[in-house]
A = this chain, B = another copy of it.
């Protein structure tokens, strides 16, 4: 591997000059410059980003830790982050916590060790406040993605309560009064917000919300299938509509509905957050709250760069708009 010294020697100049040619950071005589450039070419010079970073105390890289790389929404967010990072010439270090706080911690430590310029985190379900304190203590710029926190931290997510309210409006408008919410793990802030939105919206419409109309705590498709199935079989007053707070929960609920013998939308209405890909091609046609996952990722990078450039600026919290795709499942 050729180094800057090789180039300097071959060109008959100092390493300073080579460095300045490389970075265009001070004037160099055209002729000298040309000599340096041709020396670089002839030795196949490639600047070592590591050495450069060490000296500059800046790596031009950012770290992203997502909680569930398997979910399509997260895959889209990763994609958005990658895109936005590449546009700015930043490298992206990716890690997946798989909803495990211990793995999340390990991943964050590894990223801090690598001196990323900043961190984007979609936190694991059971993630404590300690990790964020740690990052703050290192004074490392941080942005929370999708999973927000009631803390003084830059973050970007979606308008979960608004979307849930709109969904409940839609269903109650169709005459539904008993709605089953498949809420999932309420330690996840986005799921909690959807849950809160549901309770508030139902209450605002004067509709009682007995416990039997919320299925919470599941976090796998299989577990959700079982729990929803049980609810559908035993609920004294059977719901006329089911609402799922994520794709994974929706898949479990859908299977349970089908297996219990209901027909969508004839005997059971159904809607879900996030939803399924290419859903317009398939039956049942499902009403879906679509979050702008890709943009979420892009905005996270924007917030992070803002924080890196201005460490003491005011905290920024972004809520992007979801859109609701109304389809036959809630007719």
Q: Give the complex CA separation of A59 and B255 in angstroms.
A: 46
A193 to chain B, nearest CB (A): 24
State whether the Cβ of A251 lies closer than 8 Å to any Cβ in chain B: yes
Residue among B89, B103, B113, B284 making CB contact with A48, cutoff 8 Å: B113
Pair A79/B96 contact, Cβ less than 8 Å: yes
Knowing A50-B54, A91-B93 are in contact, say whether A69-B59 is a contact too (CB < 8 A). no
Contact between chains at B276 and A278 (CB < 8 Å): yes
| Cβ contacts A to B, 19 pairs, < 8 Å | A46-B112, A49-B113, A49-B115, A72-B75, A78-B94, A82-B95, A82-B96, A86-B103, A89-B110, A91-B93, A91-B95, A91-B111, A92-B94, A93-B93, A94-B94, A251-B278, A254-B278, A255-B281, A283-B283
Residues of B within 8 A of A278 (CB): 251, 254, 276
A151 contacts chain B at the CB level, 8 A cutoff:
no
Q: Which residues in B have their C-beta under 8 angstroms from that of A41?
A: none
Q: Using CB atoms, name the residue of chain B closest to A89.
A: B110
Question: Does A9 sit at the interface, judged by CB under 8 A?
Answer: no
Contact of A92 among B59, B72, B95 (CB under 8 A): B95
Chain B proximity of A262: nearest CB distance (Å): 13
Shortest A110–chain B CB gap in Å is 6
Closest to A294 in B: B70
- A159 beta carbon closer than 8 Å to chain B: no
Interface string of A114-144 (1 = CB under 8 A from B): 1100000000000000000000011000000
In the bound complex, what is the Cα–Cα distance between A205 and B142 (angstroms)? 61
- Which chain B residue has the least Cβ–Cβ distance from A1? B138
Tell me if A70 and B59 are in contact (CB < 8 A): no
* Complex CA–CA separation, A51 to B111 (angstroms): 14
Among A23-63, those with CB < 8 Å from B are: 44, 46-51, 53-54, 59, 61
A96 contacts B115, C-beta separation under 8 Å: no
Q: A86-B106, A254-B281 are in contact. List 6 more A-B contacts (CB 8 A).
A: A61-B93, A70-B79, A72-B75, A78-B94, A82-B94, A276-B277
Please, which residues of chain B bring their CB within 8 A of the CB of A51? Answer: 54
User: Does A258 have its Cβ within 8 Å of any Cβ on chain B?
Assistant: yes
B281 and A251 contact, CB distance less than 8 A: yes
Contact status A115-B277, CB under 8 Å? no
Complex contact B53–A50 (CB within 8 A): yes
Residues of B near A50 (CB, < 8 A) are 50, 53-54, 59, 114-115
In the complex, A78 Cα to B86 Cα: how many Å? 17
CA distance A118 to B157 in the complex (A): 35
8 A-B pairs closest in CB distance? A282-B282, A75-B75, A49-B113, A69-B79, A283-B283, A94-B94, A49-B114, A251-B278
